[in-house]
Amino acid sequence: MLYFIIAHSAEAQPVIQHFKMQRVYKFSYTMFEADNVRLIICNTGIDNAMMATSVLLAHYIPTSNDLLINIGICGAPGEIGTMLLVHKITHNHHSCFPDILFKHDLQEISLKTVDTPCVSRSDNAVDMEAYGIYKAASRFFKAHQMVFLKIISDNFQPESITKEATKRLISSKIAIIQNTINQALSIFNKDDILSSQEIESIKNIAKKLTKAQNDALLDACRYYKLHYKKPLPQIDIQPFIAKTTKQQRSAYLNELIQTLTR
């Protein structure tokens, strides 16, 4: 699942169109969804960003296969329309660091999140939400699961930005955004060694076992799959049902674990 946190509708619209998302009415935020994609409009500022991110992620608890993407325009030195990938976000002397572990051709930057629009020239790119998004999202995502993409909209003349120009800027970068998402997802590790069917079949046996015995069986199954690099053999529940005493079940389980790990 992709989770987009975007400050304004004008910034979100090209993304909504690209992923063919539909409006949904879940929370008191403007939200859109499609298969495997959710987008929330958080509005301007750190507090708004933090609240919207928390609301979204606390409701749909993300997994280790999910990715959070913040896309938006920013003021920065440099050519208007340049796409930037953020490796450090600073706010009031506090910093956080998304892990960029994938290959890319984008320009990387340190971003400063400010509380009011920045009208004076700065060496850093500036925005008004990224720090709040990172702080809230880091409760749910690991550092490599968060991608902050910024497009230079102005060289510290925020009054020059229009909604139409913003839409054009984001639209022009949508292919790069998609490519960056693909790259970011390509380095993720598999969620579990066991398939959902395998977990399901072990669950049936688990009813006959203690928590510790079940953990030991799951470990042995994971060992088998990683060591022999082949699917788990069918584990028959019948012997567990047939064994009437705890001692018998325990002895059978030990035999099974020995077989799987020999």
Partner 1 sequence: MNLSKLSHAELFSHLYIEEEVKDTPLAKETAKKFSKSKIILIKHYKDIFNRPNQDFGVQCKSKNLILAKKDAPFLYKGSFYSDGFEFENFFYTPLVLGCLYDCQYCYLSGMYNSANSVLFVNTQDFFQALSPFLKKPTLVAISYDTDTLAVESLASLTKQWIIYAKNQPNLHLEVRTKSANFNAIKSLTSSDSIVLAWTLSPQQIIDLYEHKTPSLKSRLNSIKQAIDSNWQVRICIDPIIYNEDFYSLYPSLIDEIFDTIDADKLFELTLGSFRMSSTHLKNIKKLKRSDLAFYPYDVNNNIVSYGKTKEQHILNIMLQKTMQYLPKSRIRTWQLQS
Distance, CA of 198 to CA of 44 (rounded, Å): 46
CB of 132 to partner 1, least distance (A): 16
CB of 185 to partner 1, least distance (A): 11
* Cβ within 8 Å of residue 80, ≥6 positions away: 152, 153, 154, 155, 169
Pairing label, strands 31-34, 94-96? unpaired
**Is 88 an interacting residue with respect to partner 1 (CB under 8 A)?**
yes
**Is 100 an interacting residue with respect to partner 1 (CB under 8 A)?**
yes
**Is 128 an interacting residue with respect to partner 1 (CB under 8 A)?**
no
Q: How many CB atoms lie within 10 A of CB 196?
A: 9
Q: Which two tokens stand for residue 89?
A: 């976000």
Contacts 24+ apart (CB under 8 A), 111-114: 111/74, 111/84, 111/86, 111/148, 111/150, 113/46, 113/89
**Binds partner 1 (CB under 8 A): choice among 9, 48, 82, 95:** 95
Interface region with partner 1, contact rule CB under 8 A, candidates 39-47, 66-74, 140-148, 172-180: 140-148
CB of 29 to partner 1, least distance (A): 24
Q: How many CB atoms lie within 10 A of CB 218?
A: 18
Binding pattern for the stretch 163-202 against partner 1, x by CB under 8 A and - elsewhere: ------------------------xxxx-xx---------
Site for partner 1 in 192-251 (CB under 8 A): 192-193, 216, 219-220, 222-223, 226-227
Distance, CA of 100 to CA of 89 (rounded, Å): 13
CB of 97 to partner 1, least distance (A): 6
**Is 99 an interacting residue with respect to partner 1 (CB under 8 A)?**
yes
**Is 47 an interacting residue with respect to partner 1 (CB under 8 A)?**
no
Tell me which amino acid residue 142 is: K
Q: How many CB atoms lie within 10 A of CB 95?
A: 14
Site for partner 1 in 15-34 (CB under 8 A): none
CB of 223 to partner 1, least distance (A): 4
**Is 252 an interacting residue with respect to partner 1 (CB under 8 A)?**
no
Identify the three-state secondary structure at position 142: coil
Binding site for partner 1 (CB under 8 A): 64, 87-88, 95, 97, 99-102, 108, 110, 138, 141-144, 187-190, 192-193, 216, 219-220, 222-223, 226-227, 257-258, 261-262
